[in-house]
Structure 1
Amino acid sequence: MKKYPYLIIALVIFITGCKESPSELLDSYIYVQKEGRVKEDWQVVWQDDFNNSELDTSKWTKIPPNQADWGKHMTNDPQCYGLSDGKLYLKGIVNPDTVNDPRPFLTGGVYTKGKFAFQYGKIEIHAKLECAQGAWPAMWMLAEQKKYGKYPRNGEIDIMEHLNFDEIIYQTTHSYYTLGLKEKENPPHHGTAKVDINQFNTYGLEWYPDKLVFTLNGKETFRYPRVEGVDPSQWPYDQPFYVLIDQQLGGSWVGKVKPEDLPVQMIVDWVKVYQ
């Protein structure tokens, strides 16, 4: 009789192992959701709980500096990164060495470019945001393969942006349709949601072939639908996107940085992607 429990366990393991994957895997790192899964349960296909002592470089790369408002202070300086107690700390600081690097501020951010991308599914990021004048933490997505050409032709999905000491977050889509053709109301391309900035919150996006559904703590906050009969550039969201999470500082939207408010940080508990 003792052998039967082991047979049952073996059977459960076998059935679990045979469960059909929700994804088609391209180039070993791009997860494309299989068709016909709209009514299926979500399955986790990729995640990071930040339980290691160092950043998992098989999943993430520190974002290099660039000339955009959001990226001009990005750095790989260890002072802008921390990992402890199962959390990733992305920091914005006053630059302590402007002799070797003349930038007044330094910021930390990570992305999955070239290491993980997905097309359709759900992403959730559990994190806490700190506030400062000029702080602009963001969680967002860009196209991995640039199917339609140069930015903004491939679109941008901003899961969460927060400014200064606001009690709201912004959730937005950008594309040639919204930026080049200025079509920002057909349909509306952004929404806001009230947030308790003193708590950890779960910022999310459910991505379908015909709509983007933005969420906060599991509840829908804004929806961007695919619209028929308009310029095709309205929907560049039919290709794989990668993930960016960064503690930005300064820029034309958020305003000037107040050095006395620094350092400031975004604390990321976990990231999960489902299909």
Structure 2
Amino acid sequence: MSVNPYRFLSLAFAVVPLTACTATDGRQTKVIEQVSLPVPGEARAPANEAGWELTWSDEFDAPQIDRTKWGFAVDCWGGGNNERQCYVDDPSNAGIENGALVITARKQTHTGPAFPPHMRASQPDGEGRATKPFTSAKLLTQGKAAWRYGRIEISAKLPQGQGTWPAIWMLPEDNTYGTWAASGEIDILEAVNLGVPCAECPGGRENTILGTLHFGGLWPGNALNSSEMHAPAVLDEQFHTYGIIWSPGVIEWTFDGNVFARKEADAWWSDNADHANAPFDQRFHLILNLAIGGGLPEERGLGGVAETGYPKRMEVDWVRIWQCNPAPSSGQTCASGSGD
């Protein structure tokens, strides 16, 4: 889930797994292709792969959100996507219930900072104020925890309805290669408009999940590579596990432990780096949020935002992050099961 990813990019496309696409990054035409895709449904469980070490987690068992692990975004910016919510730090929008983190989007008018902190100094009117018709929450580990490579999994239950946009994603802890998107973005899970009528979806209701990389140059010279999959189970109002397995030059996306997309280093680049794995060779922090409206959901499904059925809830049962630490004598890596 990114700044200006769908409405304004010079490169914007969605790839169904096993499909190659041609795209333009504003300078030349490039073929971005998923190669060496796994067999659909290939299971990747940490317990079945030697060397994974659980190094960070939040089971949300405490009575309150752990502020040593999570910070809050507080702004009405709309993510650069014309989203309709203000992000607030309020117990009515984010809290712990029955051992799960609950992020709640509410239909209520709110006025707050027009821009996030890192943008305010560059605005002609300084901080500025904005008013939006919804409130919600965005939690992030920025400044508290960040990772380079590993297995990141989140057990979550997603909201439904036209205009809902839950996201689990990562941004660079340090903009080593420049500001967005030269230093990259990893979208572990996005879903929009779940449950609304969808003629091409199995069962006739929207059930698409997306896994996306953003990279290339500074906006607007940025690019993306996105894979989509129909996952009817997301509509069963149960917890499902969304994850990535991230190793040097390879990122795989998983749903309930099964791989549904794989991207290798020749599918991304950074204009400000001359080595193959950039920008996805640096530390990234984790973000959990529920947006309402914006370019992606409002241009899909039934269009716009349905303002009924609020509040909407995104629930997170746990977050777990493993690092690969195989036995030195094994000659194996957790991600591939074989030597580098």
User: Of 307, 310, 317, which aligns to 1:262?
Assistant: 310
Could you tell me how far 1:261 is from its partner in structure 2?
A: 2.5
Question: Where do 1:35-46 residues align within 5 Å?
Answer: 40-46=50-56
Residue 262 (structure 2) pairs with residue 192 (structure 1) = no
Could you tell me whether the CA contact under 8 Å between 2:174 and 2:283 is conserved in 1? Answer: yes
Q: Structure 1, residues 148-190: CA drift from partner, whole Å, max 9, x if none?
A: 1111111100000010122110110011269755665xxxx21
Q: Given residue 249 of structure 1, which amino acid in structure 2 is its aligned partner?
A: I
Mark the CA change 1:148 to 1:269 in structure 2 (over 3 Å): closer, same or farther. Answer: same
Mark the CA change 1:179 to 1:217 in structure 2 (over 3 Å): closer, same or farther. Answer: farther
Mark the CA change 1:48 to 1:148 in structure 2 (over 3 Å): closer, same or farther. Answer: same
The residue number in structure 2 matching 1:60 is 70
The residue number in structure 2 matching 1:216 is 255
Identity of aligned residues (%): 31
Measure the CA separation in 2 of the matches of 1:219 and 1:113: 28
Could you tell me whether the CA contact under 8 Å between 2:109 and 2:131 is conserved in 1? Answer: no
Could you tell me how far 1:60 is from its partner in structure 2?
A: 0.3
Mark the CA change 1:229 to 1:201 in structure 2 (over 3 Å): closer, same or farther. Answer: closer
The residue number in structure 1 matching 2:90 is 77
Q: Given residue 161 of structure 1, which amino acid in structure 2 is its aligned partner?
A: E
Q: Structure 1, residues 118-139: CA drift from partner, whole Å, max 9, x if none?
A: 0010000001101021100000
Q: Given residue 52 of structure 2, which amino acid in structure 1 is its aligned partner?
A: W
Could you tell me whether the CA contact under 8 Å between 1:80 and 1:93 is conserved in 2? Answer: yes
Could you tell me how far 1:79 is from its partner in structure 2?
A: 1.5
Q: Highest CA radius of gyration, 1 or 2?
A: 1
Could you tell me whether the CA contact under 8 Å between 2:191 and 2:209 is conserved in 1? Answer: yes
Higher deviation after alignment, 75-84 or 85-94: 75-84
Measure the CA separation in 1 of the matches of 2:177 and 2:218: 15
SS in 1 for 2:228: strand
Measure the CA separation in 1 of the matches of 2:178 and 2:66: 30
Could you tell me whether the CA contact under 8 Å between 1:190 and 1:222 is conserved in 2? Answer: no
Unmatched 5+ stretches in structure 2? 1-48, 113-128, 195-205, 299-303, 324-340
Q: Give the TM-score taking structure 2 as reference length.
A: 0.63
Measure the CA separation in 2 of the matches of 1:61 and 1:231: 28
Could you tell me whether the CA contact under 8 Å between 2:93 and 2:136 is conserved in 1? Answer: yes
Residue 193 (structure 2) pairs with residue 148 (structure 1) = no
Q: Give the TM-score taking structure 1 as reference length.
A: 0.77
Q: Given residue 258 of structure 2, which amino acid in structure 1 is its aligned partner?
A: K
Residue 65 (structure 2) pairs with residue 47 (structure 1) = no
Measure the CA separation in 2 of the matches of 1:95 and 1:83: 21
SS in 2 for 1:262: coil
Higher deviation after alignment, 44-53 or 197-206: 197-206
Measure the CA separation in 1 of the matches of 2:163 and 2:293: 5
Aligned pairs, number = 233
User: Of 169, 178, 182, which aligns to 2:209?
Assistant: 169
Mark the CA change 1:230 to 1:128 in structure 2 (over 3 Å): closer, same or farther. Answer: closer
Could you tell me how far 1:63 is from its partner in structure 2?
A: 1.9
Measure the CA separation in 2 of the matches of 1:206 and 1:98: 39
SS in 1 for 2:69: coil
Could you tell me how far 1:204 is from its partner in structure 2?
A: 0.4
Could you tell me how far 1:257 is from its partner in structure 2?
A: 2.2
SS in 2 for 1:118: coil
Measure the CA separation in 2 of the matches of 1:108 and 1:159: 18
Could you tell me whether the CA contact under 8 Å between 1:109 and 1:246 is conserved in 2? Answer: yes
The residue number in structure 2 matching 1:8 is none
Residue 306 (structure 2) pairs with residue 237 (structure 1) = no
Alpha carbon RMSD of aligned pairs, Å? 2.6
Mark the CA change 1:150 to 1:231 in structure 2 (over 3 Å): closer, same or farther. Answer: closer
Could you tell me whether the CA contact under 8 Å between 1:73 and 1:249 is conserved in 2? Answer: no
Mark the CA change 1:49 to 1:226 in structure 2 (over 3 Å): closer, same or farther. Answer: same
Measure the CA separation in 2 of the matches of 1:229 and 1:192: 17
Unmatched 5+ stretches in structure 1? 1-38
Mark the CA change 1:112 to 1:93 in structure 2 (over 3 Å): closer, same or farther. Answer: same
